[in-house]
Amino acid sequence: MRHAPEQLWQETATVACRFGWSLDVILDLEHADRTRLVSIIGDWDRGR
């Protein structure tokens, strides 16, 4: 399954900025894992 390029870039940028992970490491994650990390980061940013 392919995901929208803009969504992939947004997820990648969010995880890279927060954790400092390389592009290769982030792209090796399963989409569900990457999406979950983005959700958790959003919760942190909102103070939850």
Structure tokens at 27: 């792209």
- Residue 20 has a pLDDT of 96
- Residue 48 has a pLDDT of 79
With CA atoms as reference, report the closest residue to 5 among 20, 21, 27: 27
- Residue 3 has a pLDDT of 74
Q: What is the pLDDT of residues 1-48, one digit of tens each?
A: 677 999 999 999 999 999 999 999 999 999 999 999 999 999 999 997
CA dihedral sign of residues 41, 29, 14, 11: negative
- Residue 47 has a pLDDT of 92
Distance CA 41, CA 19 (A): 10
Distance CA 5, CA 15 (A): 15
